[in-house]
Amino acid sequence: MSTEPVRVVRHPDGVVELTLDAPGRSNALDLEMAEALRDATAQVAGDPGGAVLLRSTGATFCVGGDLRAFTGLGEGTGAYVHAVATAAHAAIHTLHELAVPVVTAVRGAAAGGGVGLALVGDIVLAARSARFRLAYTEVGLTPDCGASWFLPRLVGPRRATDLILTNRVLTGDDAERWGLVSRSVDDEELDSAAYEAAAGLAAGAGEALRAAKRLLREGTGEDLGRRLAEEARQIAALADGRGAQDRMAAFLGRPRKPESVS
């Protein structure tokens, strides 16, 4: 059995599975865990397959920073926390920038930095019993792992402020209603639903999925006119390709006309 706190498994169907595997510590982020996550995501980025599935073992997704590792360091606390955050942030940025779709499966608690890690997915599935809680201000800290960036974009500034300042808890169903996750599912269905979502994306029109993801990521804050022009350019470029033409013909139930041979 692997003793690595983060594992990468490549499946034949094109799904690359990235698993937080320190259940005895609730997948908390100490320096070892954060650096392992950074290194594993860099490995995934080198060959992300057709889709990436981010999940965890045990009853908890990730409780964020390991407060037990943070305490007792005296004047060295800030330097240690900065090192943990820097490594974790490198991992989150790498996942966010992946060209292929990322699916996240959240069960149990996602707290502190675990919230940002959960939200980095393009598709986020949560067990109904999942619990999302920022919890930073309760221990005298401020958000990290992208929480202050993801939350306003996903749920709006009012709700983001509520979550960060009051540390209120959202269940999986709450998180779906708020727009924090894509959908909530029964606990026993989470693993299969998340894998099926990733496998479906990996088997899909890869070039179109990557281009669509790029449009979504690049379009935030852009002038509508420029965005419309880029959409027209991109859809036309894909329509010229054999893959899209075959898929359109199949959708209509018609065989594609063979290319002429001169």
Single-letter code of the amino acid located at 108? G
Residue whose entry in the numeric block shows the structure tokens 């982020």: 29
Closest Cα partner for 136 from 198, 70, 184? 70
What b-and-e string marks burial along 21-49, b requiring 16 or more CB atoms within 10 Å of the CB?
Answer: bbeebbbbbbbbbbbbbbbbbeebbeebb
The answer to whether 145 and 117 have CB atoms below 8 angstroms apart is: yes
Instruction: Delimit the domains of the chain by residue range.
Output: 6-202, 206-252
pLDDT in tens, the chain (262 residues): 456 899 999 999 999 999 999 999 999 999 999 999 999 999 999 999 999 999 999 999 999 999 889 888 888 888 999 999 999 999 999 999 999 999 999 999 999 999 999 999 999 999 999 999 999 988 888 999 999 999 999 999 999 999 999 999 999 999 999 999 999 999 999 999 999 999 999 999 999 999 999 888 876 666 767 777 777 887 877 777 788 788 778 877 866 555 554 4
Active site residues: 89, 144
The answer to whether 91 and 41 have CB atoms below 8 angstroms apart is: yes
Q: Based on the number of CB atoms within 10 Å of its own CB, is 103 exposed (0-12), middle (13-18) or buried (19 or more)?
A: buried
The answer to whether 78 and 67 have CB atoms below 8 angstroms apart is: no
In the prediction, which pLDDT does 257 show?
59
The answer to whether 88 and 140 have CB atoms below 8 angstroms apart is: no
**Superfamily for domain range 6-202:** 2-enoyl-CoA Hydratase; Chain A, domain 1 (3.90.226.10)
Q: What is the pTM of this model?
A: 0.89
